[in-house]
C-alpha cells in the first residue's frame, strides 16, 4: 500500500519539554487515520510539524514521497487543512470565503467556480451561499470552515476536530461529507475527542499521549487491547453500599463502581454475565430501572492505556 | 487577482469610514477656508475728527483746519467736555484736536505751540494722529527757513500734496493660497485617519492568526501574497489621495493649476506615502479590530492637533511645537504654511520645502523597516 505520509523519529521540543517524542508512523493512501489523544497529547503539534507550520527538532517528514519543507508548494497544493478554529473572513459571504481560499490554490476561474459549488454542496450550504458568517449558526460555520479547507479538492486532508460544538444535524452532515471525500479518493488525517466518530469513520487509529504513540491499529485491533470483555450498567436508586463489595466477589467480575444511581460492573471474561447479575439482584430484592450490556469501547481502551478519559 | 478582489470586498464593507472622513474634509476644511476669506477683506475709511479751535481762523490755523477737513470726516459737536467725552466713549468721534489761542502767531514766532488732543486709542485715532503729525512736522521744517506766512502755507501745501506712486509687483494671491493651505492642513487629519482606519481593518482581517495559518499552508507563496496585499493598500492610498486632490481642485480653484498647486500636490503625496507606512506598521502590530478606532483618535487626531492642522501653527505654544517636531505631520503642515507666503519659487526658496519632504520620506523609510521587523517576527506560528 502506498504511503502518503511517512514520519520517522519526529521530535519537537519546547525548551525542556518534549511535545512530540520520537514519533514514527505512516498514513496509507485512501485511508482515514484517526489521531486520538487527550488535550496536550501532541496531536496539534504533530499536525503543525507535518504542515511545516512549526520547525521540529529532529526526524523526517515525507509527504507524497518528498520531504516536507515550508516552501514545498507542490506538496502544499495537494493538501487541505481544516483547523479546529473557524478561519473565515467576516466581511465575505459563504461563497466569497470559499472562493478566496480556493483561489489560493486554483487560478482558473471556471475550474474554481465548479470546485466552489462542489464544496458548498458537499457540506450542505447551498441555501446559505450569500450569508455572511455572522448570520450562520455554530454548526453552519463549521461546515463553511470545512468547505474552505477542501474546496480545491486536495488529495490529503487534515481535519482537526471539525465537529467540536456542533449540533447533531451538522455533525451528521460533516461526517457524511468526510466519507464522501474518502470515497472520492482523498486520504484523511482526522483528530477528534469523539470516540463514536472514530469508530464510524476511521480505518486506523493512533493513540497519542505525552507526545508518544501508545497504540496503533484498527478499532477492532485496539479493542482487543482492553482487558475487559463486557461492561454492564444498571440504573438502581439508593443501592446499599454493602452490596457493592458482595458484587465484587461474583464470578469473573473485575471492577465495580456506583455513582449517580448507576452501577457499573466490568468483566474480564465469561459468558452469561448479564443473567447472573440479574439473578443476584432478584435474589437480594434489589429493584432496578434499566440494565444494559456493552462491549468495551475505544474510550475503555483509551482509559486503560492512558489512565484518563479522552475528554480530560 | 483573488487577493485584490477580496481586498476590494473588505474595503467596500468599510466604505462608510472613507465617506465619513471625506465629509469631514469637505465640511471642516471648507469651513476653515471660508474663515480665511473674511480675514483679508479691506474697506477704505476716514477717521472722525472734531476740531475745537480757540484761535482766530487765519494763517497756519486756517490751513491746518482745511488740511484736516480734506483728509477726515469732521464731526461737529457741542463744545462741552462731557459731550466730547461721551462722543469719544461711544465712538461718535475718534480724535479731538484742541487748537490753542494765538496758535498762528506763536507758530510763526517759532515757539512750536502745543496742540492738545483727545483720542479713543483705536486704529482710526492712530490714523488721525498720523495726519496731524505729518502736517506739523512739515510746517516746522519750513518755518525755520521761511518767514512769510503766505509762502510757508504755499510750501506746506505743495509738499503735502505730493503723492508717491506705489506699484504692487506681487501677483501672489495670499487669500487663495491660504484657502489651499487650510484645505491641505485639514487633509492631514483626513488622510491619516482614513488610511490608518481602513488599512488596519483590512490587515486585521488578512493577518488574523487563523486565516494567516490557512494562507501559510496553502500553495500560494506567503511573501507573494503579502506583496499583493501591500500593493492593494498602496493603490488604495493613491486613489484616496487622488480623490482629495480632485476635491481640492473643486474647493480651492485655479491656484491648484499653478506651480504652488503642484507643490501642494507633491507635499500631500509624500505625506500620503508616509501615512500609508504608518498605517501598515500599526496594522502589523494591532490585530484587534475594536482597538483600531482608539488608535486612530490618538495618532491622527493627536498629531493633527499638535502640528497645527486645525489651528494655525503660530497660535500653538512653543512647547507643543517642540513636541510636534517628532511627528511627520509637522513637516507636512510646515510646507503648506511656507507655500502660503512663498512669493518666488526657485531652488533657494524651495530648499526648506524639499528638506521637509526628505524628512517625511525618512519617516516613511523608518516605518517600512519597523514593519518588516514586526512582520518577520509574527510570521512563524507557534
Q: Which residue of A has its CA nearest to B206?
A: A89
Residues in chain A within 8 Å Cβ distance of B1 = 103
Q: How many CB atoms lie within 10 A of CB B283?
A: 27
Cβ partners under 8 Å of residue B114, min gap 6 = B100
The C-alpha of B306 sits at a distance from chain A's nearest C-alpha, in angstroms, of: 35
Phi, psi torsion values for A310, nearest 5 degrees: -65, -30
CB contact under 8 A, A89 and B6: yes
Q: Are A177 and A209 in contact (CB under 8 A)?
A: no
Mutate to test the interface with B, among A104, A113, A134, A162 (most CBs of B within 10 A): A104
Q: Quote the cell numbers at residue A77.
A: 497544493
pLDDT at B36: 59
In 3D, which of A244, A261, A262 has the Cα closest to residue A253? A244
Task: Please report the pLDDT score of residue B382 as a whole number.
Answer: 44
CA atoms within 13 A on the CB side of A205: 28
**A73 to chain B, closest Cα gap in Å:** 5
Q: What is the pLDDT of residues A84-119, one digit of tens each?
A: 889 999 999 999 999 999 999 998 889 999 999 999
Among A87, A113, A146, the strongest candidate for a mutation testing the B interface, having the largest count of B CBs within 10 A, is A87
Please say if the pLDDT value at position A312 is more than 60.
no
- B-chain residues within 8 Å CB-CB of A52? 217
- Average pLDDT taken over every residue of chain B: 86
pLDDT exceeds 70 at position B379:
no
B379/chain A closest Cα distance in angstroms:
10
Which grid cell is B304? Answer: 493633527
pLDDT on residue A307: 67
Chain segment B226-280, per-residue pLDDT in tens:
889 999 999 999 999 999 999 988 888 778 888 888 999 999 999 999 999 999 9
Chain A neighbors of B216, CB-CB under 8 A: 53, 70
Q: Is the pLDDT of residue A295 over 80?
A: no
Please state the rounded mean pLDDT for residues B36-47.
64
> At residue B8, does pLDDT exceed 70?
yes
Q: Do A105 and B210 touch (CB under 8 A)?
A: no
What band does B366 get if pLDDT is binned at 50, 70 and 90?
Answer: very high
Largest CA distance in chain B: 109
Return the CATH number of the domain spanning residue range A230-295: 3.30.70
Radius of gyration of chain B (CA): 33
Task: Using CB atoms, pick whichever of A73, A88, A99 lies closest to residue B221.
Answer: A73
CB-CB under 8 Å, A91 with B9: yes
Is residue B265 within 8 Å of residue B271, measured between CB atoms?
A: no
Q: Which is more confidently placed, B45 or A234?
A: A234
Give pLDDT tens digits for B282-306: 998 887 888 888 888 899 889 988 9
* Residues in chain B closer than 8 A to A76 (CB atoms): 217-219
Residue A41's pLDDT is 83
Phi/psi of residue B353, each to 5°?
-65, -45
Point out which residues pair with B51 in neighbouring strands. B97
Distance from CA of B214 to the nearest CA of A (A): 7
> Higher confidence at residue A206 or residue B344?
A206
Between B176 and B206, name the one with better pLDDT. Answer: B206
- Residue B17: pLDDT band (50, 70, 90) is confident
Q: What angle do CA A171, A120, A181 make, to 5 degrees?
A: 65
For residues B243-256, one letter each, b for 16 or more C-beta atoms within 10 angstroms of the residue's C-beta and e for the rest, the string is: ebbebbeebbeebb
CA distance A91 to chain B (A): 6
3-state secondary structure of B111: coil
Q: Where are the domain boundaries for CATH 3.30.70 in chain A?
A: 230-295
Average pLDDT, chain A: 86
The residue that leads in pLDDT, B60 or A1, is B60
Q: What mean pLDDT comes out for the span A18-34? A: 90
Confidence of residue B43 (pLDDT cuts 50, 70, 90): low
Q: What is the CATH number of domain B48-161?
A: 3.40.1710.10
Provide the pLDDT confidence category of residue B29 given band limits of 50, 70 and 90: confident
Residues in chain B closer than 8 A to A90 (CB atoms)? 205
Stretch B191-215: mean pLDDT: 89
CA distance A105 to chain B (A): 6
Using 50, 70 and 90 to split pLDDT, how confident is the model at B170?
A: low
Domain boundaries, chain B: 2-39+175-379, 48-161
**What is residue B309's predicted lDDT score, i.e. its pLDDT?**
83
Average pLDDT estimate for A174-198: 86
> Which residue of chain B has the CA closest to A68?
B217
**How many helices (H) and strands (E) in chain B?**
17, 4
**For range A218-227, the mean pLDDT:** 77
Instruction: Give the model confidence (pLDDT) of A124-156 as tens digits.
Output: 889 999 999 999 988 889 899 999 999 999 999
Contact B6 A92 (CB under 8 A): yes
Is the pLDDT reported for residue B12 higher than 90? no
- What the block records as the C-alpha cell of B263 is 507643490
Examine the pLDDT at B37 and tell me if it is beyond 60: no
Looking at the DSSP assignment, which residues form a beta bridge with residue A255? A266
Q: Which triple of cell numbers denotes residue A67? A: 520531504
Q: Retrieve residue B351's grid coordinates.
A: 530648499
* Range A3-223: architecture per CATH: 3-Layer(aba) Sandwich (3.40)
B211: nearest CB among A71, A76, A87: A87
Residue A11 or B381, more confident? A11
pLDDT at B320 exceeding the cut of 60: yes
β-strands A187-191, A156-160: how paired?
Answer: parallel
Can you tell me whether residue A164 is helix, strand or coil? coil
Range(s) within chain A of domains with CATH label 3.40.50.300: 3-223
Residue of A nearest to B213 (CA): A53
Interface of B with A (CB under 8 A): 1-2, 6, 9-10, 13, 205, 208, 210-211, 213-221, 225, 380-382
Chain B residues close to A45, C-beta within 8 Å: 382
- Using CB atoms, pick whichever of B205, B214, B382 lies closest to residue A101: B214
A63 in Cβ contact with A75 (< 8 Å): yes
pLDDT value of position B380: 54
Specify the pLDDT at position A57. Answer: 87
> Which chain B residues are Cβ-neighbours of A91 within 8 angstroms?
9-10, 13, 205
| pLDDT at res. B35 | 64
Contacts A85 to B, Cβ<8 Å: 210
Give A16→chain B minimum CA distance, Å.
16
Cβ contact A141:A133 at 8 Å:
yes
Tell me the C-alpha distance between B202 and B196, whole Å: 10
Amino acid at each position: 500500500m502506498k504511503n502518503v505520509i511517512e514520519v520517522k523519529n519526529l521530535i519537537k521540543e519546547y525548551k525542556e519539554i518534549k511535545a512530540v517524542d520520537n514519533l514514527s508512523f505512516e498514513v496509507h493512501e485512501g485511508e482515514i487515520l484517526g489521531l486520538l489523544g487527550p488535550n496536550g497529547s501532541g496531536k496539534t503539534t504533530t499536525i503543525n510539524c507535518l504542515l511545516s507550520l512549526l520547525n521540529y527538532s529532529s526526524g523526517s517528514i515525507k509527504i507524497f514521497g518528498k520531504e516536507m519543507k515550508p516552501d514545498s508548494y507542490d506538496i502544499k497544493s495537494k493538501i487541505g487543512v481544516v483547523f479546529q478554529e473557524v478561519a473565515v473572513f467576516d466581511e465575505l459571504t459563504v461563497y466569497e470565503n470559499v472562493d478566496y481560499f480556493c483561489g489560493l490554490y486554483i487560478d482558473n476561474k471556471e475550474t474554481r467556480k465548479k470546485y466552489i459549488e462542489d464544496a458548498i454542496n458537499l457540506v450542505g450550504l447551498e441555501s446559505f451561499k450569500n450569508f455572511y458568517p455572522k448570520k450562520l449558526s455554530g454548526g453552519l460555520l463549521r461546515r463553511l470552515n470545512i468547505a474552505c479547507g477542501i474546496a480545491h479538492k486536495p488529495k490529503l486532508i487534515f481535519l482537526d476536530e471539525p465537529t467540536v460544538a456542533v449540533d447533531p444535524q451538522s455533525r451528521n452532515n460533516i461526517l457524511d461529507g468526510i466519507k464522501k471525500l474518502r470515497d472520492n479518493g482523498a486520504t484523511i488525517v482526522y483528530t477528534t475527542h469523539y470516540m463514536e466518530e472514530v469508530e464510524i469513520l476511521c480505518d486506523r487509529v493512533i493513540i497519542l499521549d505525552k507526545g508518544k504513540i501508545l497504540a496503533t491499529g484498527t478499532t477492532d485491533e485496539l479493542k482487543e487491547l482492553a482487558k475487559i470483555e463486557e461492561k454492564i450498567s444498571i440504573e438502581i436508586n439508593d443501592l446499599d453500599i454493602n452490596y457493592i463489595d458482595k458484587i465484587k466477589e461474583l464470578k469473573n467480575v473485575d471492577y465495580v463502581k456506583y455513582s449517580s444511581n448507576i452501577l457499573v460492573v466490568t468483566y474480564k471474561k465469561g459468558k452469561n454475565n448479564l443473567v447472573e447479575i440479574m439473578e443476584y439482584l432478584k435474589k437480594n430484592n434489589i429493584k432496578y430501572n434499566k440494565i444494559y450490556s456493552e462491549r468495551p469501547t475505544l474510550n475503555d481502551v483509551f482509559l486503560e492505556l492512558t489512565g484518563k478519559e479522552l475528554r480530560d | 487577482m483573488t487577493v485584490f478582489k477580496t481586498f476590494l470586498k473588505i474595503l467596500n464593507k468599510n466604505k462608510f469610514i472613507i465617506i465619513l472622513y471625506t465629509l469631514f474634509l469637505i465640511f471642516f476644511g471648507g469651513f476653515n477656508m471660508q474663515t480665511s476669506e473674511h480675514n483679508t477683506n479691506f474697506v477704505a475709511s476716514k477717521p472722525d475728527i472734531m476740531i475745537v479751535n480757540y484761535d482766530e481762523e487765519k494763517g497756519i490755523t486756517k490751513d491746518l483746519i482745511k488740511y484736516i477737513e480734506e483728509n477726515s470726516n469732521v464731526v461737529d459737536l457741542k463744545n462741552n467736555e462731557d459731550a466730547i467725552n461721551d462722543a469719544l466713549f461711544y465712538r461718535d468721534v475718534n480724535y479731538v484736536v484742541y487748537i490753542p489761542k494765538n496758535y498762528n502767531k506763536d507758530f510763526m514766532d517759532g515757539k512750536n505751540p502745543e496742540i492738545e488732543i483727545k483720542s479713543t486709542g483705536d486704529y482710526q485715532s492712530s490714523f488721525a494722529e498720523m495726519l496731524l503729525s505729518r502736517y506739523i512736522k512739515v510746517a516746522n521744517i519750513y518755518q525755520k527757513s521761511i518767514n512769510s506766512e503766505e509762502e510757508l502755507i504755499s510750501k506746506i501745501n505743495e509738499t503735502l500734496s505730493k503723492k508717491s506712486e506705489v506699484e504692487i509687483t506681487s501677483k501672489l494671491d495670499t487669500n487663495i493660497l491660504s484657502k489651499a493651505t487650510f484645505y491641505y492642513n485639514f487633509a492631514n487629519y483626513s488622510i491619516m485617519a482614513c488610511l490608518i482606519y481602513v488599512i488596519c481593518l483590512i490587515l486585521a482581517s488578512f493577518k488574523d492568526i487563523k486565516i494567516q495559518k490557512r494562507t501559510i499552508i496553502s500553495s500560494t507563496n506567503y511573501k507573494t501574497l503579502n506583496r499583493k496585499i501591500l500593493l492593494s493598500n498602496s493603490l488604495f492610498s493613491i486613489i484616496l489621495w487622488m480623490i482629495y486632490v480632485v476635491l481640492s481642485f473643486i474647493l480651492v480653484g485655479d491656484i491648484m493649476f499653478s506651480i504652488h498647486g503642484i507643490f501642494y500636490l507633491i507635499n500631500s503625496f509624500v505625506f500620503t506615502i508616509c501615512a500609508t507606512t504608518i498605517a501598515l506598521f500599526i496594522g502589523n502590530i494591532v490585530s484587534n479590530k475594536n482597538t483600531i478606532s482608539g488608535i486612530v483618535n490618538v495618532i491622527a487626531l493627536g498629531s493633527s492637533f499638535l502640528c497645527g492642522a486645525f489651528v494655525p501653527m503660530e497660535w500653538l505654544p512653543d512647547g507643543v511645537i517642540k513636541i510636534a517636531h517628532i511627528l511627520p505631520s509637522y513637516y507636512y503642515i510646515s510646507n503648506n504654511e511656507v507655500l502660503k507666503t512663498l512669493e518666488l519659487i526657485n531652488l533657494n526658496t524651495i530648499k526648506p520645502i524639499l528638506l521637509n519632504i526628505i524628512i517625511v520620506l525618512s519617516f516613511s523609510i523608518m516605518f517600512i523597516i519597523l514593519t518588516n521587523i514586526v512582520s518577520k517576527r509574527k510570521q512563524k506560528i507557534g
